[in-house]
């Protein structure tokens, strides 16, 4: 386990040292995104396989949310500057998705006969879908490699 005095880095096979992103609050983010992956993917898999015709848009959006959560979880665990930037971009896209779908479900509820993970800004998931990307983007911006190290950390 890394202490506060030593950098949180991991050597890669024959490549540059990769900065870990799952230290401190990053561990909580990985755990929460992991829970959201399981929730969104399992929910959408059951709904798509059993009642897709009832609300195809809602169930498809829940599946997309699960894939997005999975990619962010993978990027956080992988670490490195490239993964950090990819996770940051994906979190921004996730936030846009939550805001668009959340607003859409409030303005035009008839478009969603059943709810999605992002419906009503994630109210069915304790608003975690709207709070998680904001928290993750804050953490990922803080975890940015120093200017001089960016060329070395992949």
Q: Any idea which residue has 């490699």 for tokens?
A: 145
What is the model's pLDDT at position 1?
A: 43
What is the model's pLDDT at position 24?
A: 79
What is the model's pLDDT at position 148?
A: 52
What is the model's pLDDT at position 25?
A: 80
CB 129 within 8 A of CB 117: yes
What is the spatial distance between Cα 71 and Cα 106, in angstroms, rounded to a whole number? 28
What is the spatial distance between Cα 58 and Cα 79, in angstroms, rounded to a whole number? 32
Mean pLDDT by 10 residues, the chain (154 residues): 43 60 82 95 96 94 95 92 94 96 94 90 92 95 68 46
């Amino acid at each position: 386990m890394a202490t506060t005095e030593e950098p949180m880095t991991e050597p890669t096979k024959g490549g540059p040292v990769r900065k870990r992103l799952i230290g401190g609050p990053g561990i909580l983010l990985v755990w929460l995104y992991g829970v959201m992956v399981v929730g969104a993917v399992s929910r959408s898999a059951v709904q798509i396989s059993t009642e897709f015709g009832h609300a195809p848009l809602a169930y498809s959006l829940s599946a997309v949310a699960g894939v997005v959560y999975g990619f962010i979880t993978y990027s956080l665990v992988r670490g490195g500057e490239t993964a950090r930037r990819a996770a940051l971009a994906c979190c921004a896209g996730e936030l846009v998705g939550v805001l668009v779908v959340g607003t859409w479900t409030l303005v035009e509820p008839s478009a969603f006969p059943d709810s999605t993970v992002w419906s009503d800004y994630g109210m069915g998931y304790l608003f975690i879908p709207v709070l998680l990307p904001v928290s993750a983007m804050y953490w990922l911006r803080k975890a940015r490699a120093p200017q001089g190290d960016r060329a070395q950390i992949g």
